Amino acid sequence: MIHVIDLHFLDIPQAIAVFVVETSEGPVLIESGPYSTFKNLQKGLQSKGFAVADVRHVFLTHIHFDHAGAAWALAAQGAKVYVHPFGAKHMAHPEKLVASARRIYQENMDRLWGAMEPIAPQQLVEVAHEEEFTVGNTTFKAWHTPGHAVHHIAWQVEGNLFTGDVAGVSINHGMVEPPCPPPDIQVEDWQKSIQLMRKISPKTLYLTHFGPVEEKDVALHLEALEKNLLDWADWIRMKLDKQESPEEIEPEFKRYVTNQLKASGASDMLIRQYEAANPPSMSVTGLIRYWQKKE
């Protein structure tokens, strides 16, 4: 059985999820969420009949704070944390990661994400592409899926694929957005990862932002993701070609995305949920860096 726990990030529903997979050896978490929502994670686990101490395995899709920020607190209670080899060193020594994030978020850092502490190396498991791990009666298969981040993994459990950010953001079956934060957005790699997901052909996608995409919608979801990824990248390229500055591009891009959401039928509340899950300002920075690296 799979449970979706809404972490109510910033007191906003359906912005960040974690997933509980019930196995014959107890609950397994996919994602940890940020430490700022750890109390909500505790409450969510309790509502399913579990305590934090029952969680002995945490499978991360990648190390961004909204997905992995609370992993250290679970490790502190004995859990093993499974992560891409490129991300493991940052989980063991998060000082540079935290400093980099603090430069971006400044005084909002603690409010948004909370603390991030080191995880003992013996509790970190570096995961290879297509490696499988069995917990009780359940097998978890790792698919390296770069594009959103070089250290990204999609986790397959039978016909379910837990996609982190590589399958995009879609809240309440709304527009499929490609989250494009710095530092390592790579459009071509992302397209290859989308093609890999098509090849895997899962029955259900589980999006961290937010929730399940059922089998009948998977193909259209991935098609919309790729279309919007290329659209956003091309839009930023056009603005750079016009010699516009990042300061000029950012508010224009926010209006562009808001208009896309409105055109898709999104309410003001749904737009607020999307902005919490995937701030447009982050995608501006990530896509500008992507094009700068290609020059």
CA distance 257 to 182: 18
Furthest CA-CA distance within the chain: 58
Judge whether 239 lies within some domain: no
Tell me, what's the pLDDT at 107? Answer: 86
Confirm whether 182 is domain-assigned. yes
Within a domain: 267: no
**Residue 203: inside a domain, yes or no?**
yes
Q: What local confidence, expressed as pLDDT, does residue 101 receive?
A: 85
CB 208, CB 67: distance < 8 Å: yes
Is 234 a domain residue?
Answer: no
Residue 207 lies in a domain: yes
Asked if residue 161 lies in contact with residue 200, where contact means CB atoms within 8 angstroms, the answer is yes
For residue 31, CA distances in Å to 133, 160, 187, 233, 285 come to 16, 15, 24, 27, 25
The predicted pLDDT at position 57 comes to 98
What's the pLDDT score for residue 294?
82
3-state secondary structure of 171: coil
The count of domains in the chain is 1
3-state DSSP call for residue 212?
strand
- DSSP-derived secondary structure letter, 177: B
Q: What is the CATH number of the domain that holds 41?
A: 3.60.15.10
Q: Encode the chain (295 residues) as per-residue pLDDT tens digits.
A: 999 999 999 999 999 999 999 999 999 999 999 999 999 999 999 999 999 999 999 999 999 999 999 999 999 999 999 999 999 999 999 998 888 888 888 888 989 999 999 999 999 999 999 999 999 999 999 999 999 999 999 999 999 999 999 999 999 999 999 999 998 999 999 999 999 999 999 999 999 999 999 999 999 999 999 999 999 999 999 999 999 999 999 999 999 999 999 999 999 999 999 999 999 999 999 999 999 998 7
Q: Note whether residue 103 is domain-resident.
A: yes
The answer to whether position 244 is within a domain reads: no
CB 116 within 8 A of CB 35: yes
Segments forming the whole domain that contains residue 199: 2-226
pTM of this structure: 0.96
Question: Alpha carbon of 136 to those of 148, 220, 272, 286: distances in Å?
Answer: 31, 34, 40, 40
